[in-house]
Amino acid sequence: MKIIDKAYTLAKQVRLNAHAPYSKFLVGAVVKVKGSDQLFAACNVENASYGGAVCAERNAIFQMVAALGKAEPEFLVLVTDTLTGAAPCGFCLQVLSEFCAPDFPVH
C-alpha cells in the first residue's frame, strides 16, 4: 500500500474519533513527515469555549512536534464528511505556514 493511501485510510479512521458536539463536523487529518514513513493522525476536538477547540490539522502538526521536535511535514491528508471536501481554516493555514514548505500539498 502506498504511503498516501495509508494516510488516507488512517485519516478516515481517526475522523470517527472527533469530538464535535456543536458543529457535528467530523474531521480527520494525517501528516506525513518528510524523509520518513512516520504518520501523525488526529481529529478535531471541540469545546463550548470556541477558543478551546482544536482542528484536526493543527492537532496532527502538534502531535508531530510533541513526538519529534522540529520536523518538516511532507503532506497532509484531510478527510471530512462533506461531498466536496474542505480546506484548512485560517488558524490551520497559519500553523501550516510556519512548519511547511510554500508548496506543501493538502490532499
Give the residue-averaged pLDDT of 19-30.
Answer: 97
Confidence of residue 85 (pLDDT cuts 50, 70, 90): confident
Rounded distance between C-alpha atoms, residue 47 and residue 50, angstroms: 6
Give the residue-averaged pLDDT of 78-106.
Answer: 94
From the list 67, 73, 104, 87, the residue with the least C-alpha distance to 27 is 87
Q: Domain-by-domain residue ranges, the chain?
A: 3-99
Percent over 70 (pLDDT), the chain: 100
Q: Which residues are catalytic?
A: 57
Q: What angle do CA 19, 16, 63 make, to 5 degrees?
A: 70
Task: Kindly state which CATH superfamily the domain 3-99 is placed in.
Answer: Cytidine Deaminase, domain 2 (3.40.140.10)
From the list 62, 33, 31, 27, the residue with the least C-alpha distance to 45 is 27
Confidence of residue 51 (pLDDT cuts 50, 70, 90): confident
pLDDT of residue 92: 97
What's the mean per-residue pLDDT of the chain? Answer: 96
pLDDT of residue 54: 97
Q: 3-state secondary structure string, 7-64?
A: HHHHHHHHHCCCECCCCCCCCEEEEEECCCCCEEEEECECCCCHHHCECHHHHHHHHH
pLDDT of residue 84: 86
